[in-house]
Structure 1
């Protein structure tokens, strides 16, 4: 009877031990060593935006874990442990690499396979440089698809500069102050690798718009500003040289048929001091005019005064027809405080009625005592 009980106890013990082993796993060391990983492969998902980001997804059968050695980087950043079905990512500079994937099977046996990886950055596309001038000072921004950076050659002999920004964003560079002239602005869009894209822009940097206005200077933008109410203006060869005015170029002002009585032109003055009516610059504006009629008035208006000074308007009538004459507009009659500056110059002609197609010519606008 005792012998039977002893055998039962051993049987019970065997059942208990077998229940502690996970299902499907043998406790036989020889059998376990025969369970190995197979069908090793890799998946490289390489970004196409020049970020260098690569997603690595190892695959295989019977694998408990992977170690991915990127073939780039140092320390902890040079590798990663990846569980089955998961991925790891790494950012690569342009170049060629050898990625090593070590697979561990259920018995802990490691198998390492290496895979070549080539990272080639593409030349940026849709490269655009946006220019904003304030006088002679240029503010520049640049964008480009897949651009990792930009360099700028201003074209005036100054040092090449690097723009700052982030991939996919807008890049900016400190403002640049030009000497008036004609230049070629060169923007180089960088991929982050060997490829790049170059765009060029011819630019004309105009002199600050200030008096005197001669309509002769090639680096003066006489069309800055604009017109209102229906008048037309254009620079033309002097059609009536002689007398007091032998200038080569003058401004033709046409008050077209139906142009509003209040029509005219406006010109922002970009010099540092505007038109300063003080003792150092004079308080009179002189304008040469050629008109075909006597008695119609030309307005000269100074606007946007400093220190809260209101706009000032003077009207002077032509006194001769079909010849050049110089009209004087004496702003000293307003008692304008010394040092006052005005940032905008306005011309109007015969502002009491709508236009009938009148044409006048304007030249040599200057400030005198």
Structure 2
């Protein structure tokens, strides 16, 4: 089930933690991900360790699907990528981490949301790159968010 592939009208992104630049751009590296458009996220120098961005989606079907996947392109290995799904209240949220293992190569990351409250309506998808570290103007890309 595709949540967002960024090929149509781009969702509106909201940044936080002094993250300045998140936008949909032309795919800079089509080897490993042949789509035309991807999200470009720049971790602004000095941004907070928890800086990131979110977009709003239709309610996600977490009863039938527990694993969220996304493709990521990073110039660094070993960094934490965190995905957080949020509902209407602060109690309706769950975060899952994955680590980048490939440098300058599109990599599919999996985020297992087993145990999430399936009665909640999750509509906000929050993505953090290099979570826990201060920003250093590094550029990251992501694409093809799916529920499996």
Same fold (TM over 0.5): yes
Aligned partners of 2:47 and 2:134 also within 8 Å: yes
* Distance of 1:254 and 1:320 partners within structure 2: 18
Alignment match, 1:365: 145
Matched, 1:267 2:55: yes
1:247 counterpart SS class: coil
1:299 shift after superposition = 0.8
Whose radius of gyration is greater, 1 or 2? Answer: 1
Alignment match, 2:99: 317
Matched, 1:277 2:59: no
Aligned partners of 2:94 and 2:116 also within 8 Å: no
Structure 2 counterpart of 1:330, from 88, 112, 121: 112
* Distance of 1:325 and 1:352 partners within structure 2: 21
Aligned partners of 2:70 and 2:145 also within 8 Å: yes
- Give 4+ residue runs of structure 1 displaced > 4 Å after superposition: none
1:229 shift after superposition = 1.5
1:259 shift after superposition = 1.0
Superimposed CA distance per residue, residues 295-319 of structure 1 (whole angstroms, 9 cap, x where no aligned partner): 001110011267x853100111101
Gapped regions of structure 1 (runs ≥ 5): 1-209
Relative to its length, the structure with more helix (as a share) is 1
Q: Count how many residue pairs are aligned between Structure 1 and Structure 2.
A: 147
Matched, 1:249 2:37: yes
* Distance of 2:106 and 2:87 partners within structure 1: 30
1:235 counterpart SS class: strand
Alignment match, 1:64: none
Matching of residues 162-311 of structure 1 within 5 Å: 211-217=2-8, 220-222=9-11, 224-231=12-19, 232-243=21-32, 245-269=33-57, 271=58, 274-279=59-64, 282-304=65-87, 309-311=91-93
* Distance of 2:135 and 2:10 partners within structure 1: 26
1:342 counterpart SS class: coil
1:276 counterpart SS class: coil
* Distance of 1:239 and 1:266 partners within structure 2: 22
1:212 counterpart SS class: strand
TM-score (norm: length of structure 2): 0.90
